[in-house]
Amino acid sequence: MSIEEEILKLEERIQGLKSRISAHSPKIKMVQELEEPEDELPRKKREKFLFKGYSIVSCAILHRELNYLKDAGFLDADRILYTIPGLHENPLRLRAELKRQLNNAKRNSGKIIVVYGSGCYIDTRDPLFGIDALLKEEGGEIKRIRVKNCIDALCSIEEREKIAQGKKVYWLSPGWLEYWKQIFKDWDIGKANETFPQNDKAILLDGVDFFDEYSRRYPERVLEFSDWMRLSIEPYKISLERVKKLLLDVIAPIEERG
């Protein structure tokens, strides 16, 4: 057999192998699709566009956590609007700021989720007029996550008791470390000394890998806050599963109504 004939025969064998592979490839693909777990497909569909048609209004204290969920593809709301951080110390200004952002949210969406706790707004002139009364006064499809404050949104009281291990803890979040001067700007040293030293330490609940990088870049800011409180600040890594569940709990009854 000549070299030309051997090459021709080899090419025919290669072509035959290609044809056989091509004939089986749809079956292989079909098997791969069928082998995907049955619950995986509904889960993927369920996680897409959960918050379309909603806008979020939140205190900027939680901006890192909510933006993290947005970047991860979970919080796909029409818009996320933030109020000025630390206004729980100034209820009149907080009320005006909430109303402003709620009006902005209404321009974007028919439904609004408010990320504020029940203890974040208390009208000193009328203590019975809380944040839920304020939201009801605004009208429309407005729902609030069911927590007491931003720390409660990140970690339940039961979880915090486990983390504290019997110690008295002043709880912080990344936003509290970032905005502490704004939050406590009206506090004098006397009030600070009455509040913080009764605790053994401060623990920062970190669900976004914030503390290590922040303390590396701005060690003087961390030390200044720690010195002002007269407490050491310890980071504690958490997940954002509680935040996700709280948000889902808000939309579930709305979606079930249709």
Condensed to tens digits (0 to 9), the pLDDT of residues 200-241 reads 999 999 999 999 999 999 999 999 999 999 999 999 999 999
Give domain status of residue 228, yes or no: yes
Residue 257 has pLDDT above 80, yes or no: no
Give domain status of residue 75, yes or no: yes
Residue 137 in tokens: 């006064």
- Dist. CA 93–CA 117, nearest whole Å: 16
**Looking at residue 14, what is its pLDDT?**
46
8-state DSSP, 187? -
**Ranges 53-62, 134-143, 155-164, 245-254: which has the least confidence:** 245-254
pLDDT band at 89 (very low <50, low <70, confident <90, very high): confident
Element (H, E) at 56: strand 54-59
Residue 184 has pLDDT above 50, yes or no: yes
125 lies in the same domain as 249 = yes
Instruction: Work out the average pLDDT over 147-153.
Output: 97
**Looking at residue 4, what is its pLDDT?**
45
Give domain status of residue 42, yes or no: no
CATH number (domain holding residue 79): 3.40.50
**Looking at residue 21, what is its pLDDT?**
40
| Parent domain of 30 | 3-35
22 lies in the same domain as 74 = no
List the strands of the sheet with 201-206, edge to edge.
Answer: 169-172, 201-206, 233-237
Residue 49 has pLDDT above 90, yes or no: no
pLDDT band at 256 (very low <50, low <70, confident <90, very high): low
Instruction: Work out the average pLDDT over 179-205.
Output: 95
250 lies in the same domain as 127 = yes
250 lies in the same domain as 233 = no
97 lies in the same domain as 164 = no
Instruction: Work out the average pLDDT over 112-138.
Output: 91
75 lies in the same domain as 180 = no
138 lies in the same domain as 244 = yes
135 lies in the same domain as 54 = yes
**Ranges 42-46, 185-189, 215-219: which has the least confidence:** 42-46
Average pLDDT, the chain: 85
Give domain status of residue 144, yes or no: yes
**Looking at residue 18, what is its pLDDT?**
46
Domains of the chain: total: 3
Strands 169-172 and 54-59: unpaired
Closest CA to 68 of 154, 147, 151: 154
Burial letters 112-147, b for 16+ CB under 10 A, else e: bbbbbbbebbebeeeeeeebeebbeeeeeebbbbeb
- Dist. CA 165–CA 200, nearest whole Å: 11
139 lies in the same domain as 53 = yes
**Looking at residue 47, what is its pLDDT?**
52
143 lies in the same domain as 59 = yes
**Looking at residue 15, what is its pLDDT?**
54
Q: For helices 241-257 and 63-71, give the axis angle rounded to 10 degrees.
A: 70
